[in-house]
Structure 1
Amino acid sequence: MAAQQIQTKKRAKSDLREICERLFVETGLSAKALSNTYPVTEQTISKWRNDTSRDGKTWDEKRQEFITAPANIRQVLMDELRKVAEGSESSINVKDLATIYKVIEGFSDKVNTQVVYSVFKEFDNWMSDQDPELALQFVHFHKLFLIYKAERE
């Protein structure tokens, strides 16, 4: 029975460590914030944070990888823009922020209007061979969409 209780405590501590690691890495919570939220001391979190025995990386290294992952860069920068818009001090130089914002736009899922135009043109030419009347309807809507898209850019 005592062995089972020890296993349960070890599992609970392991689960707690995983929760703290995820919050530290993905949300940027500090050791102090974690210790105030969960039943663990800052010293224990510090030990966990610097322990590389599990996968060869510290929590700080994992945080850097998480922040710089292409999927997360946009979110980090948008959060920074939100802080500035709310009147907080930017932790990024404003000139750098403008440059970074241009990079964000480069990550955008949107396709530029010129590419859309080229695809529509190729499609419309193909469609005119298939069904000329239907092709005219497509051309009309393609034109409307291109105008809409150009106005948004």
Structure 2
Amino acid sequence: MAGKKDKIRYQAKDYFVENFGATKKEVAELFGVTEKTIGDWSFKDNWENERLNYHASPVKIKQLLQQELLSVAQGNQPKLPADGISKLMSALDKVEKKADPTVVSRILKDLDNFISEEDPEFALKCIHWHKQFLIHRINLEG
């Protein structure tokens, strides 16, 4: 029975995270569990933080802005001034082109470990180029 409860927990979390206006009470009613259960799950798994990260991601914001542009193109009144949309799109484009060197380093280390399990000799060849790429990303960010 724990498997079914876990499935409900993950579905409830996904619903809560993806639906910014949803309350914990609504989620509890929708998934047939108590508000206390939803509160416990939410606290334990930090649903609020995941919700904010989900809705604040550049991809999600860009999707919302694109929906606004499509709505305006269909003749609807804009919810934001055109100048504001333009500035937001420009800022998002700049953010999407940046890559935190710390994150790049972690990904490259993970990639090196993965390759070394499959082909250690090839992994040794890759390490040099991965270091060069990391230096390149650091210089771009500086």
TM-score by length of 1: 0.45
Q: Larger Rg: 1 or 2?
A: 1
TM-score by length of 2: 0.48
